[in-house]
Chains A and B, each alone.
Chain A
Amino acid sequence: MARIEAKDLRVEFPLYHLGARSLKKRLLARAAVRVRTDEANRVVVSALRDLNFRIESGERVALVGRNGAGKTTLLRSLAGIYEPVGGELRIEGSVGSLIDPAAGMDPDSTGRENVRLRALYRNLDLAGQAALEEEVTAFAGLGEFMDVPIKGYSAGMSIRLAFAIATAMQPQVLLMDEWFMAGDAAFMEKAEARLVNLISGADIMVIATHDMDIARRWCTRAIRLDAGRIVADGPVEPVISAMLSEVA
């Protein structure tokens, strides 16, 4: 059983390489709400502020909100990449993140080598590695290009491979940034069928999206973030319509 629980979750982003003091001042003056200096006189952005939520098995959650509201940061925190500076976070279940599908790909290696590399990244045993390779080869449909360095791929081909690799392993908790939609029309149909499979196989999905249709179609719950805080949390329709009416 998968479960996500956050208590007073707080994530701050230090901006280290702000050289000029003047730039620092300007930034601070303009965005006094979220950018501030901490005790050590560093400039920090409060990316997430005191989030409290609990996601149970079976829920499909849409993270909505404007650009910079903290959606991707929250996804990365859930993926265990950004360690919180305050509060508590607990994720039960295997996590699969489709934040950047191309992460960990080596452009100089062939498609097949990249699949093996990913199997190592995900700590799969030999059987798992073989299964992954077979599955990805079948799905990506790259034929002989599987043995060509991916540097030589067209944009569409690399997306197909990246997508195939990223979606081949079934996690219990699926984290997604935006909806992956790319490639030619025939591939998009296949891609959608595969995502449907992946989502139905997962116990929990959390997706950050700007596309309200996706939220309405796939999710059972929406969390709206604004300036790093949760401003609404509940069934999809009320949260979205409240947000849209506010923007309009």
Chain B
Amino acid sequence: MLAGPLLAPDTYAFNAAAPRRAELARADLRKGFASWRLAWALARLDLRNRYRGSVIGPFWMTLSTVLMMMGLGLLYSRLLGLSLGEYLPHLTVSLVVWNILAGMVTDACTSMTSAEGVIRQLRIPFTVHALRSVFRNGLTAAHSLPLIPLVFLLFGHLPGPEALLALVGIGLLLANAFFASILLGMLCARFRDIAPIVANVMQLAFFLTPILWKPELLKDLAVWLPLNPFYALLETIRGPLVEGGGQPLVWLAAILYTLALGAVSLAFFVRFRGRLAFWV
């Protein structure tokens, strides 16, 4: 007998005539979340490997946000005729959150294909790969989030207790990141053209979403803004921090978008989970 550990007994059964897809998908999600430690360890490795040999590592993201903030802050506060004190808190929250959001979406496209080797060799819940992508981006985000209180202190912008609502906003963002990692991860494994399309959409969305500019500049058109899901999500974090809470309509929109993305991605997951090993 070997001295090493014994593997726990397990039964794998699949019947193509009655595939019980929903049950299998549920088991995948359950086991995937149960092995969050694995996803966490992998995410930390990803971060370490990405910045191996770099002196300031993931703080490069922070630094580039700072530079962008300073440059754009000076220019756009002038262009929009706003004082720095009015404009910078808005810009900081917007840029930091947007970088996190955009990073999560682009990373979601490779959540499955980057784990190709593992998917084709080991039976691991696919949920783990999606979680890994969420954790990886969450870790990166943790390096630039402190910029927000820093700028707030510098400009004496102190939000009230409603700022705690931003935590709910972050929760929504994470939920969306998870669903996107499942949906985009699988779609991009199957159709290799989707990743570049997503990159283009995100670039366009950066300009169409009030990040550099403020929503009130749209005047009477501002009522249409909640149709932009990126705006709604961004506003659930920016609203509590900068604008004293954010409108109920925007919160409703953000929750609806999250539910919709969740429904679509889970439906897709249930239907095509079994095909993923052939796609990557």
Contacts and interface: CB of A to CB of B under 8 A. Distances in A.
Interface stretch (A58-66, A76-84, A219-227, A233-241): A76-84
A121 B38 contact: yes
Interface string B15-48: 1110000000000000000010110011001001
A68 interface: no
B190 to A, nearest CB: 7
A100 B2 contact: no
A183 B93 CA distance: 56
Contact of A169 (B7, B42, B52, B117): B7
Given A85-B16, A88-B17, A93 B1 contact: no
Interface of A is mostly: mixed
Given A108-B52, A131-B3, A97 B122 contact: yes
B121 A169 contact: no
Given A81-B277, A88-B15, A94-B10, A198 B2 contact: yes
A83 B17 contact: no
Contact of A103 (B16, B122, B275, B277): B122
Nearest to A15: B278
Contact of A170 (B2, B190, B279): B2
B5 A132 contact: yes
Nearest to B35: A123
Contact of B121 (A13, A84, A100, A197): A100
A82 B121 contact: no
Contact of B2 (A116, A123, A168, A172): A168
A80 B123 contact: yes
A194 B3 CA distance: 11
A90 B117 contact: no
B14 A131 contact: no
A17 interface: yes
Given A10-B16, A88-B17, A198-B2, A97 B9 contact: no
B10 A95 contact: yes
A92 B37 contact: no
B121 A99 contact: yes
B246 to A, nearest CB: 39
A192 interface: no
Contacts of A134: 3
A76 B8 contact: no
A120 B35 contact: yes
B196 interface: no
Given A88-B15, A91-B13, A83 B7 contact: no
Interface residues of B, number: 41
Contacts of A94: 6-10
A91 B11 contact: yes
A198 B3 CA distance: 11
B49 interface: yes
A91 B12 contact: yes
B71 interface: no
A106 interface: yes
B214 interface: no
A96 interface: yes
A88 B12 CA distance: 11
B120 A90 contact: no
A120 B38 contact: yes
A46 interface: no
A211 interface: no
Interface of A: 10, 13-14, 16-17, 76, 79-97, 99-100, 103-104, 106, 108-109, 113, 116-117, 120-124, 127-128, 131-132, 134-136, 138, 167-172, 194, 197-198, 201
Given A88-B13, A169-B2, 11 more contacts: A14-B278, A16-B278, A81-B121, A81-B122, A87-B16, A93-B9, A94-B9, A100-B117, A106-B49, A120-B35, A131-B3
The 9 closest A-B pairs by CB, nearest first: A103-B121, A83-B274, A168-B4, A94-B7, A128-B5, A135-B4, A120-B38, A80-B123, A88-B15
22 contacts: A17-B192, A82-B277, A88-B16, A91-B11, A94-B8, A94-B10, A95-B7, A100-B117, A104-B121, A104-B122, A108-B49, A121-B38, A121-B118, A121-B122, A121-B124, A128-B5, A131-B3, A134-B3, A167-B2, A168-B2, A169-B4, A194-B2
